[in-house]
Structure 1
Amino acid sequence: MGEPSIAERWRAARPPVAGVHVDSAACSRQSFAVIDAAAQHARHEAEVGGYVAAEAAAPVLEAGRAAVRVLTGMSDAEVFFTTGSNNALDVLLGDWTGDRTVACLHGEYGPNLAILARHGFDIRELPVDGSGRLDLDAAAAVLAANPPALVHFTVLGSHSGIVQPAHDIAALCRSGGIPLYVDAAQGLSHLDCADIGADAVYSSSRKWTAGPRGVGMLATRPELLSEATQLSLGHTESNVGLHVGLSVALGEQLAAGPQHMQARLRDVGAATRTVLAQVPGWSVIEPVDEPSAITTLRPPDGVDPLAVRGRLIAEHSIVTTFVGPERAPRVMTRPALRVSPHVDVTDADLESVADALAAVTG
């Protein structure tokens, strides 16, 4: 697969990994700069007080908001820092005043379904093909015949590396006058999320953006949220130091070049699926050329992927993700294992994962 300069720079900017980290869809590795920025802000709070330090951090935070606008292509967006993707969706739905019918994919993320249900939404399913990807023609017919009040669209699921056509569903929603909220938790800094044309796009910090845990971002078209909700977001007690770290991580994405990052991650995904398809007994769910860096593995009969994940960590220092059916309760009938390297993965890393997976499986 080779080692493009973007991989070398990404690796050099971070502490050496203790083993093999192929878990970026859960939590990527932060850079020295991100770690230092958050720590320096905490130190500044101790020196001058939290509110004074927060005022001093305002230019960095605004740079982070500007980076979100670039990555989403929403040049006039109002950008808010959140505690993560679930928090952003909760804010959006809590502010919603329209009818409570929503259309989403059959493979919608389980916690999102729970939040939608808690807010009283009647959930309808958008039609998909055999791989779980949106069937655009069928969706157009469904939305025209019985339009929901809202479409909630997840560009890349937690249970699968199948990329969804976010720009196409946005065009359908615009033509039908249907508001669109986009969950880009797995998409931002991974896929092309610019100029989708959504009313709101939200994401977390810890995944492909490689920022701190416990924070995220929400970008909305101007005046989408009520004044009361905007005030609440602005006055909620928050961890400014982590917002500073996230802002630095977003800047690193722009400095690396979003198109270069996306191209490298496509190559990483293809290389990962090619290597892991050779492990006896395990089945790779995604096509080898699926344009994402997420690889989902279906285990052999009788093999528990949760136990496999634990043994990979304990015996081989390899970090992967256990994917339980609760991540996509309308789709998944059995658990799986997820492998999601970032741009710095090497051929040797992937071979180590394959060898270790074969070893712990027997």
Structure 2
Amino acid sequence: MTLAERWRAARPPAAGVHVDSAACSRQSFASIDAATQHARHEAEVGGYVAAEAAAPALDAGRAAIRALTGMEDAEVLFTTGSSHALDVLLSSWSGERTAACLPGEYGPNLMALAHHGFDVRELPVDGFGRLDLDALGTVLATDPPALVHFTVLGSHSGIVQPAHDIASACRAHGIPLIVDAAQGFAHLDCSAIGADAVYSSSRKWTAGPRGVGMLATRSDLVSDVARLRLTHGETNVGLHLGLSVALGEHLAAGPDAVQARLREVGAATRTALADVAGWRVWEPVEEPSAITTLHPPDGVDPMSVRARLIAEHSIVTTYLATERAPKEMTRPALRISPHVDVTDTDLETLADALTAVTR
């Protein structure tokens, strides 16, 4: 069986065409069963006894996170998601509150930085919103921020950022680097970035359950109070187990094979949707990600298009409001993000449906 066939067989059949993995992928039977069985075990022996029994599986999940981030000595904490992880890091920060980010930084991240009193500066980028490495050194040398918060792959764009290069630059200038890998983890190679902290959600490309995320970090970047809140008795162990199982499945499938397949998926999607009904694909065809951003024709509302694709064609996509990247987006868009199991027929169906609802 191919990787796509194994992925499909491990999950309940999709009720239509699911090209929304950048928002929430489809969980496997094994991930669903892990959380369900733990809830049953809690009812049988009590929550704390069941949590102790789950400890080895959770340790395996943490080990997988260390392997996939390349942070062998990192402290790994389960969170409720990416936003929670960032809040933990920012609330624990004791230094000067200046941060550098890309202009395309995720809107809620900018709100979190402002909430915690950070003055945000912009990193230099090219016309695609990709980090301008030639100008980076000058920026970091002449007006260094206290930290760099770097989104390796945006919520609003499939443009892959040079995370390893910025990590090298930050190390050279002694600046801590926090990486938002919500869209990159289990999608791109995050094992050699060299960041001080990396965080992600479970529900996206990892295909774990909603309501849980992960943080791999230097221990000194998390306060004792924040650590205690993350490890107290109210944590949802069942969801942590579901994530741990999903991580194990990802490792078993082979991260290199998954990444290669997702690059194929991205190229196939952008090729299939080029110039469909006047929509414009933003990313270059060979951009090494599976996220495709579609800019609408004049007068077409992507929110209405998304709703009609679901209601009339059972196709799930993502509506991108400008609030996702308020310093870069000038108009709403539509995001297409298939996982490894997408077929050519799925993409043809999407192209035909998009034409129909646009007209």
- Could you tell me which residue of structure 1 aligns to residue 45 of structure 2? 48
Cα gap change, 1:91 to 1:236, in 2 (>3 Å):
farther
Q: What's the offset of the Cα at 1:117?
A: 0.2
Between stretches 276-285 and 232-241, larger displacement belongs to: 232-241
State the 1:221 CA deviation.
2.1
Map of 1:219 onto structure 2? 216
Counterpart Cα distance in 2 of 1:51 and 1:354: 50
Alignment of 1:268-307 (within 5 A): 268-307=265-304
How many residue pairs get matched?
359
1:24, 1:342 within 8 Å by CA — same for their partners in 2? yes
Question: Are 1:234 and 2:247 an aligned pair?
Answer: no
CA contact (8 A) 1:74 1:221 kept: no
The letter of the residue matching 2:294 is L
Return the match for 1:328 from 325, 337, 344.
Answer: 325
Q: Which of 2, 12, 25 is the equivalent residue of 2:22?
A: 25
2:198/2:217 contact within 8 Å kept? yes
Assess, with a 3 A threshold, how the Cα gap between structure 1 residues 169 and 135 changes in structure 2: closer, same or farther: same
- Which has the larger displacement, 135-144 or 21-30? 135-144
Residue 180 of structure 1: CA displacement?
0.4
Distance in 2, Cα, partners of 1:224 & 1:127: 26
SS state at 1:57 partner: helix
Instruction: Give 1:1-362 correspondences, 5 Å limit.
Output: 5-235=2-232, 237-362=234-359
What secondary structure is seen at the aligned counterpart in 1 of 2:78? strand
What CA distance in whole angstroms lies between the structure 2 residues aligned with 1:144 and 1:9? 49
Instruction: Please report the TM-score for the alignment, with normalisation by the length of structure 1.
Output: 0.98
One-letter amino acid of the counterpart of residue 273, structure 1: R
Task: Tell me how far apart the structure 2 counterparts of residues 221 and 137 of structure 1 sit (CA, whole Å).
Answer: 29
Gaps of 5+ in 1: none
| Aligned 8 A contact 2:93 2:221 in 1 | no
> TM-score normalized by structure 2?
0.99
Percent identity of the aligned residues? 78
**Structure 1 counterpart SS, 2:352:** helix
Deviation larger for 276-285 or 264-273: 276-285
Deviations 1:186-205 (A, max 9, x none): 00000010121111000000
CA contact (8 A) 2:277 2:354 kept: no
**Contact 1:281 1:299 (C-alpha < 8 Å) held by counterparts:** yes
**How far apart in 2 are the matches of 1:348 and 1:22?**
13
The one-letter code of the counterpart of 2:177 is L
Q: CA RMSD in A?
A: 0.9
Q: How far off its partner does 1:227 sit? A: 3.0
The aligned amino acid for 2:345 is A
Inter-partner Cα distance in structure 2 for 1:278 and 1:224: 46
Instruction: Give per-residue Cα distances to partners, 1:204-257, cap 9 Å, x unaligned.
Output: 000000000000000002433233332332116211100000000000110011
CA contact (8 A) 2:158 2:291 kept: yes
Mapped partners of 2:270, 2:233: distance in 1: 43
Post-superposition CA distance 1:3-31 (Å, at most 9, x none): x7111100000001010000000000000
Task: Confirm or deny: 8 A CA contact 1:104 1:151 kept in the other structure.
Answer: yes
Amino acid at match of 1:293: A
Matched residue of 1:223: which SS? Answer: helix
Amino acid at match of 2:241: V
User: For residues 236 and 119 of structure 1, what CA distance do their matches in structure 2 show?
Assistant: 27
Residues 76 and 222 of structure 1 are in contact (CA less than 8 Å); yes or no, is this contact kept in structure 2? Answer: no
Q: Confirm or deny: 8 A CA contact 2:7 2:340 kept in the other structure.
A: yes
Asked if 1 retains the 8 angstrom alpha-carbon contact of 2:158 and 2:290, the reply is yes
Q: What are structure 2's unaligned runs of at least 5 residues?
A: none
The answer to whether the Cα contact below 8 Å between 2:92 and 2:221 also exists between their aligned partners in 1 is no
Alpha-carbon distance between aligned partners in 1 of 2:262 and 2:145, rounded to the nearest angstrom: 34
SS in 1 for 2:311: helix
The answer (yes or no) to whether the contact 1:182–1:198 under 8 Å persists in 2 is: yes
